[in-house]
Structure 1
């Protein structure tokens, strides 16, 4: 990049729990380590640590068995906090005697409070990584996927790989197909220019702040700060 800024920060850090944040029950937070393994074709997959939100413990405390799982995958520049109302509503429904759906909302690697790996993760990598995590969780069906932004594409890839588990898929603000001869939209082409990309996404929080500013209704300061929490500093935004 002509700006001299890496798209992926070299810094690495393990997964950590988030600090106390509005609307987030600490009982939902989990750190899950996916052990190293040999993947398809003999490629080595290193050990990775994930942060995720999971209502399994809260459902157990209510004494109810889940009827299925909602698997929630965020996009950029958010994290699992995006799905907090889904977790809360699902538990309220279960407590009232309705269907008890377990909700698992992940922080993608290099994002949220999951491990900063220091390497780039392409789409195929992210789909495989998510599959390794759900294998470690022992996720069983029925599963409904919820995906936002390019998290929707990752969740759809996971669904294709797990047809025996998936009963429905849901996406929002997600593109699922781009014709080979269709140009990238002009605003995105501008944002992806090397002299802009690193400054907007890594060196400064401009991309994050722009995203938060267009929320409707407007986010209150504590909620906006919660979205900012995992991305303070260039290394955390890499």
Structure 2
């Protein structure tokens, strides 16, 4: 038995590439994006009543992973990349049907003739992600008070982030982008197997800027120093 799934929208995201995109939604509150519905789903009637919801579920396709297949055992980054678990016991992107889901904050809905734009925040999806369904987040049923997941019961401890003078200067008039960079990098987007190497420069594109940073030890604590922020 097979089913055809058609995208109903695409994501316009502040994350322009996979690297540095958070592994979970809601962690980076400053991450903003737009869910742009496409024909024939871009009828304002299709979102009537949704404006009263604070959060929504997005079901989407891991479109950059479809052609890479899947494995029954995967290495979750949260476990250091060394321990294998069953794919259905994780939120790994390489899945049999490449379907993901995220809950995001619905900031506002913008509608025009033949145009429906959902402005959201707390996003963890890269630019161009196909969305296959949208549902309201229902607190009484979706928030399970005593839910338990032993491998990631709490959010990871944020890593300290500092900005070089050059980066501070580049961000002097953009407090939003500085906060976005801080929140994204504090989640430590490195591959789990990477050790601290102060000569290794990391980079990612956030919004319309290229951001570079390094990791270093300060008083035996690993910290991140943002080296530069420049137009992409």
Q: Would the TM-score normalized by the shorter structure come out above 0.5?
A: no
TM-score by length of 2: 0.28
Higher strand share: 2
More helix by share: 1
Give the structure with higher Rg (CA).
2
The TM-score, its normalising length taken from structure 1, stands at 0.27
